[in-house]
Amino acid sequence: MKLLRPANLSLMQLVLLGFVGVVLPLILLVFQAANAYRELSTQAGSSAREAVAFTRRSQALQTLALDMERTSRQYSIVEEAYLLNLLASQFNEFKTLVQQPYLLFPVTQAQESLEALLKDALPEQQTLQNLADIEYIANLADLTESLTSQTQGSVDERLQTMQQQLLSLQKQLVWQFLMLLSLSLLLVIFFTWRLLRPIDYLQKRINSLADPNNNNKTKQLQEGPAELIQLDVRLNWLEEQLDEIEQQKAQFLRHISHELKTPLASIREAGDLLHEEVLGSLTPSQKEVTGLLEQNSRRLQELIEQLLDYNLLQGKKQLELAAINLDNLLERLLEPWQPLLEQRQQQVNLPQSGLALSGDISLLRSTLDNLLTNALHYGDASKNIEIRAGIEQTLQWMEVENSGTPIPETEQKRLFEPFYQGSGKRRGAVKGSGLGLSIAADCMKAHGGQLTLLISTPHATTFRLEWPTNLI
């Protein structure tokens, strides 16, 4: 019996069971309707044949009654013996027709009267001569006429009964059809639910696997087709593997970032000592080399900090919300880039002064720093960079726009994936990590907002930040 449980059925078995369950009631209805109509048609055929015979008998009796009446009148005038014999023959034939049995039609009152009148045997010849033949035959003719009328009434009543039976059968079949159709629809809904419920569950499981930030662990599938239950088992295994890989990735990022920071600090310290000529004077060529060493070690430190920021965001850092003075934030962001901007004679156009936003200042600074870094390294150095900001009811936003080579449409969908690097060429000696835009997007998600690429043309590439105002 356990094998018959729906949870143990295969997908093919469940589909076949549902098909049989839906079709079987309709097949039973068709079979029952065919039997009922066949029985009714057989009964109608029998009734029609007996009605024809019944009617013909009535007509034959009426004809014999008229013949007997005519013969008796002739005999009363001419008194010939052959007329008496003819009358006796007609009388016997009349009596035989009256006593003819019928199965479907009831015995009428006129027939009972005729049978009562004819129950005695045919009188002797001399007795017939002494009877009032005309009066006796007239009674037979009257009863025969009544029998014909009652026979027609019986036939009409039988036809009406059959018509009522047909209507009753039609109503019964209609109700049975509606009931079986409802049953079939219920079975369709039930088996559809049996199939769609585990499929919907598996879809949610797959979506949860695709979302690395989803920590909601769903229960294991208990009921459904065997193939889907087995698929859920494999998804559980896959989820465990993905969790383990995610933990290994986070652990690797923590370890590699920590291991890199220690030797980098020593390299930077040694480079600073050389560049500042603490250990002795340097030639211009040596001074240039130590400058490159200092610049690239600083960039390497930025990349390591990006790895740390990315790892921190994957761990869902708790927001430290506060009011942010946008002027001070942008001033601190642009300060390290001032030498490069002056060298290029490039300007950064800032939004209106005095604008105050709300959010986590460290995450917002990291977001803007990544966007500004991209604008400087990928944009046209001869064109200004635009930074815009504003507050619209329950939404606050910022935009960073630069000119330069547009981002191909084939790459725009993957811009915010971690470690993805497009085909655009970055200026500078150190290649990017591919984490900048991913970190910026995660910072916005932490604020309940989003980072989007509004437009990318040869004239302008614009990134937009937007997040709700009701954070604090």
What DSSP assignment string belongs to 360-404?
Answer: EHHHHHHHHHHHHHHHHHHS-TTS-EEEEEEEETTEEEEEEEE-S
466: confidence class by pLDDT, cuts 50, 70, 90: very high
Tell me how far apart the alpha carbons of residues 137 and 24 are, in angstroms, rounded to a whole number: 66
Average pLDDT of the residues in 313-334: 78
Same domain, 185 and 41: yes
Average pLDDT of the residues in 83-109: 73
Q: Which of 268, 300, 315 is where one domain is finished?
A: 315
Q: What is the mean pLDDT of the chain?
A: 76
Same domain, 238 and 126: no
> Looking at residue 25, what is its pLDDT?
76
pLDDT in tens, 100-148: 766 556 666 666 676 666 665 444 444 454 333 566 777 777 777 777 7
Same domain, 136 and 279: no
Q: Is residue 216, in this structure, part of any structural domain at all?
A: no
E-strand ranges in 196-334 read 321-325
Same domain, 48 and 119: yes
Q: How many beta carbons lie within 10 A of that of residue 111, not counting itself?
A: 25
400: confidence class by pLDDT, cuts 50, 70, 90: very high
Q: Is the pTM of this model over 0.75?
A: no
Same domain, 241 and 185: no
> Looking at residue 122, what is its pLDDT?
46
Q: Is residue 219, in this structure, part of any structural domain at all?
A: no
Average pLDDT of the residues in 345-357: 86
> Looking at residue 309, what is its pLDDT?
64
Phi, psi of 387 (to 5 degrees): -120, 120
Same domain, 391 and 286: no
Tell me how far apart the alpha carbons of residues 383 and 266 are, in angstroms, rounded to a whole number: 38
Same domain, 322 and 387: yes
Answer whether 442's CB lies under 8 Å from 306's CB. no
Average pLDDT of the residues in 146-157: 74
Q: Is residue 211, in this structure, part of any structural domain at all?
A: no
> Looking at residue 82, what is its pLDDT?
78
Range among 177-181, 230-234, 401-405, 425-429 with highest mean pLDDT value: 401-405
User: Is the predicted pLDDT of residue 45 greater than 50, yes or no?
Assistant: yes
Tell me how far apart the alpha carbons of residues 396 and 357 are, in angstroms, rounded to a whole number: 7
CATH number at residue 272: 1.10.287
Range among 147-156, 197-206, 282-291, 392-401 with highest mean pLDDT value: 392-401
SS3 string of 411-455? HHCCCCCCCCCCCCCCCCCCCCCCCHHHHHHHHHHHCCCEEEEEE
DSSP 107: P
Q: Which of 315, 342, 371 is where one domain is finished?
A: 315
Residues paired with 323 in a beta bridge: 358
> Looking at residue 83, what is its pLDDT?
76
397: confidence class by pLDDT, cuts 50, 70, 90: very high
Q: Is residue 206, in this structure, part of any structural domain at all?
A: no
Same domain, 329 and 295: no
Same domain, 368 and 268: no
Structure tokens at 464: 């937009």
Answer whether 158's CB lies under 8 Å from 58's CB. no
Q: Is residue 445, in this structure, part of any structural domain at all?
A: yes
> Looking at residue 261, what is its pLDDT?
67
Same domain, 455 and 376: yes
Q: Which of 193, 214, 234 is where one domain is finished?
A: 193
Among 286-300, 320-334, 344-358, which is the least confidently predicted range? 286-300
Tell me how far apart the alpha carbons of residues 389 and 218 are, in angstroms, rounded to a whole number: 41
Instruction: Give SS3 for 219.
Output: coil
Percentage, residues of the chain above pLDDT 70: 78
Q: Which residue has the higher pLDDT, 449 or 217?
A: 449
Among 136-145, 162-171, 391-400, 423-432, which is the least confidently predicted range? 423-432
User: Is the predicted pLDDT of residue 223 greater than 60, yes or no?
Assistant: yes
User: Is the predicted pLDDT of residue 252 greater than 80, yes or no?
Assistant: no
Residues paired with 360 in a beta bridge: 321
Residue 9's region, left for phi above 0, alpha for psi from -120 to 50, else beta, is beta
User: Is the predicted pLDDT of residue 269 greater than 50, yes or no?
Assistant: yes
Q: Is residue 205, in this structure, part of any structural domain at all?
A: no
Query: For residue 79, what are the domain limits?
Result: 2-193
CA nearest neighbour of 201 among 228, 173, 165, 179: 228
> Looking at residue 187, what is its pLDDT?
79
Among 66-80, 177-191, 252-266, 331-345, which is the least confidently predicted range? 252-266
> Looking at residue 72, what is its pLDDT?
78
Tell me how far apart the alpha carbons of residues 66 and 82 are, in angstroms, rounded to a whole number: 18
Q: Is residue 412, in this structure, part of any structural domain at all?
A: yes
Tell me how far apart the alpha carbons of residues 441 and 416 are, in angstroms, rounded to a whole number: 7
> Looking at residue 285, what is its pLDDT?
79
Same domain, 273 and 343: no
| Cα torsion 312, 313, 319, 322: sign | positive
> Looking at residue 3, what is its pLDDT?
40
Same domain, 327 and 287: no
> Looking at residue 125, what is its pLDDT?
43
Between β-strands 321-325 and 356-360, what pairing exists: parallel, antiparallel or unpaired?
A: antiparallel
Tell me how far apart the alpha carbons of residues 345 and 382 are, in angstroms, rounded to a whole number: 8
CA nearest neighbour of 59 among 157, 156, 160, 149: 149
301: confidence class by pLDDT, cuts 50, 70, 90: confident
User: Is the predicted pLDDT of residue 237 greater than 60, yes or no?
Assistant: yes
Q: Is residue 218, in this structure, part of any structural domain at all?
A: no
| Cα torsion 356, 357, 358, 360: sign | negative
DSSP 212: T
Residue identified by tokens 């013969």 is 71
User: Is the predicted pLDDT of residue 177 greater than 70, yes or no?
Assistant: yes
Residues whose CB is less than 8 angstroms from the CB of residue 357 and which lie 6 or more positions away in sequence, other chains included: 323, 324, 326, 364, 389, 391, 396, 398
355: confidence class by pLDDT, cuts 50, 70, 90: confident
Count of structural domains within the chain = 3
